[in-house]
Copies of this chain bind each other. A is one copy, B any other.
């Protein structure tokens, strides 16, 4: 039987406010077993870009990353957000290490080809070095991954944190029994967007198609769930969509094959 590994992905809002960050670090630090954290940081990046007079352009929820914006996200994700999480976890007895894809070459990507839209310095993940991550994890070191990868030619590339979490989960599923937890603002996938307690407990591909057909699941939740099903197909044991405050608790939407 494979050893269990929990991969938690948290969005920008949670890690960017002192109170919610501290709560997250508390919850994450008491999680038992092997674990790995992936964080966003988009709000901080937008805020920092604005302070530097750099306009943030989003297309389909993704940041268009020109050379100046790349500097901002490299600083904010790889430096400010990542290192504060790492220091915070160390204070709680978690031996964390902050990683971008460039560090130990853990995530190699290619600059997204320009089709209708030029997203600039944005990376599409090519491969994750599961062995390098597993070696750290087995030594008791907890990877904290920033949403940055590299192209192997010397360039850092901005990469969506959900994608980092999904691809890392798929790669590590070859080694561990992986549970992938996507945390966002709600307690789970809702059947009624006006009722925060209307969490759908279980989603299968059939149920998903049914909810999409009825317009209950829509917009940004659709690619998130498609990612979840793709992770399950690639061997990830379980995907859970929940809120950060529910980490370690039995709340949320469980995605099943």
Q: List the interface of chain A (C-beta within 8 A of B).
A: 48, 51-52, 71, 74-80, 82-84, 86-88, 90-91, 95-100, 102-105, 135, 139, 141, 148, 150, 152-156
Contact = CB atoms under 8 A, between A and B. Distances in A.
B102 A86 contact: yes
A48 B80 CA distance: 14
Nearest to A108: B90
Given A51-B52, A103-B98, A105-B95, A83 B154 contact: no
B135 A87 contact: no
Contacts of A79: 74-80, 82-83
26 contacts: A48-B75, A71-B80, A74-B79, A74-B83, A74-B84, A78-B80, A79-B79, A79-B80, A79-B83, A83-B100, A83-B156, A84-B156, A86-B100, A86-B102, A86-B103, A86-B150, A87-B102, A87-B155, A87-B156, A88-B154, A90-B105, A91-B152, A95-B104, A97-B103, A97-B104, A104-B141
A80 B75 contact: yes
A138 to B, nearest CB: 12
Contacts of A88: 154
B75 A76 contact: yes
A116 B165 CA distance: 48
| List of 3 A-B pairs having minimum Cβ-Cβ separation, nearest first | A79-B79, A91-B154, A75-B75
A90 B100 CA distance: 12
A35 to B, nearest CB: 15
Given A74-B79, A78-B82, A80-B71, A154 B87 contact: yes
Contacts of A139: 135
Contacts of A86: 100, 102-103, 150
B74 A102 contact: no
